[in-house]
Amino acid sequence: MRIDLHMHSTASDGVYSPPEVVGLAIKHQMDVIALTDHDNVDGIAPAQLAAANTSLRVLAGVELSSEDDAADRHVLGYLVDTTYVPLLDKLRQLQNARIERVQQIAAKLAAINRPISVERVLELAGDGSVGRPHIARAMVEAGHVNSIQDAFNRYIGDDGAAYVPHSRLTPSEAIQMIHAAGGVAVLAHPGHYEDYRAIIESLIPLGLDGVEVFYYDHSSTVITELQSIARHHDLLMTVGSDFHRREPDGSARIGSVHVPAKLPIVEAMEVRAARYR
């Protein structure tokens, strides 16, 4: 069974459209994938349509950015009902908040004589979720900075003169919204958080269903520890490559993350999701 449950498309910050992601997954002989765009489920229906009449199964997914004590926590939602109106309303609100944030940052930049065009920033984001990387690109184009990193360091990074904080979901809100849409909530790439054991244990009472144990840059030590935490707390274990684009050498890491052959990942998610239906 070849499975990859963490992939992005142009519905957020990936470079391939949902049907193109499906095409690549078929080329990589995948059996099951999930599209998990940031704060967006618009790619699911086109991806599922593209996979119809093939042996590839495309699961509905989403990656919600939440914030806890001013630190980012990404929560993956799987098997969510992508027609559930309160979910779509909330995702639209988050999208609007992103655009308002761009406008606020642009106003701060204008006030310090570094004007950028909000329209240009939105154009750079295309169909995807607009954010600071697009502002940075507009600043490079306008000649205010030499590089994207320079834009973050001097102006729009967390200590920059034009920084504006994000209005985001709390992890608890993210988990509740996923459950309300009939899905399971999984902590993405726990290995990116230094104190992941404490974070996981703090999210369990909030309803966390699983952890992304098998992630492309997790070390074998991290994987072993996450497996033991998941077993101890009866949490789902999921797998993901966090595919956004091809690597510089042309390879794509779709399906590159190894999982134990007998682990019933999708079946376990379906059983768990039945709790929220």
3 state SS for 186-228: EECCHHHCCCHHHHHHHHHHHCCCEEEEEECCCCHHHHHHHHH
Nearer to Zn ion, 37 or 101 (CB): 37
Does the protein bind Zn ion through residue 209 (CB under 5 A)?
no
What torsion do the CA atoms of 188, 199, 85, 127 make, to the nearest 10 degrees? -40
Give min distance, CB of 277 to Zn ion, in A.
26
The encoded tokens of residue 112 equal: 């310090």
Site string for Zn ion, 153-192 (x = CB under 5 A): -----------------------------------x----
Does the protein bind Zn ion through residue 75 (CB under 5 A)?
no
What torsion do the CA atoms of 44, 49, 52, 58 make, to the nearest 10 degrees? -10
Nearer to Zn ion, 76 or 151 (CB): 76
Query: Exposure string (b/e) for 61-74, b if CB count within 10 Å is 16 or more?
Result: bbbbbbbbeeeebb
Using CB under 5 A, which of 28, 73, 74, 90 touches Zn ion?
Answer: 74
What distance in Å separates the CA atoms of residue 48 and residue 95, rounded to the nearest whole number?
Answer: 23
The stretch among 56-64, 126-134, 159-167, 212-220 that binds Zn ion (CB under 5 A) is: 56-64
Give min distance, CB of 6 to Zn ion, in A.
6
The stretch among 27-35, 55-63, 121-129, 227-235 that binds Zn ion (CB under 5 A) is: 55-63
Site string for Zn ion, 229-268 (x = CB under 5 A): -------------x--------------------------
Q: In what order do the strands lie in the sheet with 71-78?
A: 3-7, 32-35, 57-68, 71-78, 184-187, 210-215, 236-240
Q: What residue ranges bind Zn ion (CB under 5 A)? A: 63, 74, 188, 242
